[in-house]
């Protein structure tokens, strides 16, 4: 299984309603091979946290690549891009138990 983690710091004054709509769209993606997909905003429990997060699990690397290349995913990513100040991403394998 491949886990994808994305963290974004959003620019000051970003459009909260637009980001919420983007998150809604991301939650409704239906990419083959997606095992679990979580998207949300920081709960504000600690100073200095990043604002936006995606944690997604995929059956394998090919499923992740399909998601990464998905047209709707990339449309939503493009909508979010103007609000992003910094982004960090990582994909890693989760060993079978």
Residue 97 pLDDT class (50, 70, 90 cuts): confident
The pLDDT score that the predictor gives to residue 26 is 98
The hierarchical CATH code for the domain 2-93 is 3.30.70.100
The total number of residues shown for the chain amounts to 97
Give the pairing type, strands 34-41 and 84-93. Answer: unpaired
The span from the CA of 48 to the CA of 79, in Å, is 24
The pLDDT score that the predictor gives to residue 34 is 98
Return the closest-CA partner of residue 26 out of 63, 80, 65: 80
What residues does each domain of the chain span? 2-93
pLDDT in tens, 35-86: 999 999 999 999 999 999 999 999 999 999 999 999 999 999 999 999 999 9
């Amino acid at each position: 299984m491949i886990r994808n983690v994305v963290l974004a710091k959003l620019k000051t004054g970003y459009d909260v309603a637009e980001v919420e709509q983007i998150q809604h769209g991301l939650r409704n993606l239906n990419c083959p091979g997606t095992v679990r997909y979580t998207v949300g905003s920081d709960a504000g429990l600690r100073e200095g946290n990043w604002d936006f997060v995606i944690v997604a699990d995929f059956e394998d690397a090919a499923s992740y690549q399909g998601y990464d290349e998905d047209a709707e995913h990339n449309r939503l990513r493009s909508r979010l891009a103007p609000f992003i100040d910094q982004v960090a991403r990582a994909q890693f394998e989760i060993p079978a138990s």
